[in-house]
Amino acid sequence: MNPHEARPNPEIPSAPRHLSREALMEWGRITDELHRLGLLSNIDRAALAAYCQAYGRWSEAEAQIYADPDNPRLTTVTANGTTIQHPLVGIANSAALLMHKFLTEFGMTPSSRTRVAAAGNREKNKQGFAALG
């Protein structure tokens, strides 16, 4: 642990107005939990918004790909008859990669949680180490 780590006050920032409906739903789903863990403050607003917006794009692209479950739009045929990956698949894949980058920043993947020291856990760690000494 970095003893000189900046520790902003845990706080739930307001959601930016430009977020899509799906992005706002994701914002609402995760902010309470991140705040409870001490992993969210006002300075995290932009990073969280970027994650949520990427989630919204991923969700929308996936919904459009599978709008007809019997005929997912995974490929398309160009004007010259070549079969290529449907552009929605590329949008979904790009958004998923961006989501993953932000998920790891907030410790929201199983492996990244092992590298994040949440504020709520800091006090438990201090108490536990004091009891050992």
> For the residues 98-115, what does the mean pLDDT come to?
91
- CA–CA separation, 53 vs 67, rounded Å? 21
Q: Does 95 score more than 50 pLDDT?
A: yes
Strand-pair partners of 84 = 76
- CA–CA separation, 88 vs 72, rounded Å? 11
User: In the prediction, which pLDDT does 41 show?
Assistant: 93
User: In the prediction, which pLDDT does 119 show?
Assistant: 61
Q: Does 129 score more than 60 pLDDT?
A: no
The DSSP element (H or E) to which 75 belongs, if any, is strand 75-77
- CA–CA separation, 62 vs 109, rounded Å? 21
Q: Does 128 score more than 60 pLDDT?
A: no
Q: Read off φ and ψ for residue 76, nearest 5 degrees.
A: -145, 160
The pTM assigned to this predicted structure is 0.81
> For the residues 10-38, what does the mean pLDDT come to?
95
Q: Does 102 score more than 80 pLDDT?
A: yes
3-state secondary structure 15-44: CCCCCCHHHHHHHHHHHHHHHHCCCCCHHH
The percent of residues above 90 in pLDDT, for the chain, comes to 71
User: In the prediction, which pLDDT does 130 show?
Assistant: 40
User: In the prediction, which pLDDT does 120 show?
Assistant: 56
Instruction: Write the single-letter amino acid at 67.
Output: A
> For the residues 100-117, what does the mean pLDDT come to?
88
Q: Tens of pLDDT along 45-70?
A: 999 999 999 999 999 999 999 999 99
DSSP state of 82: -
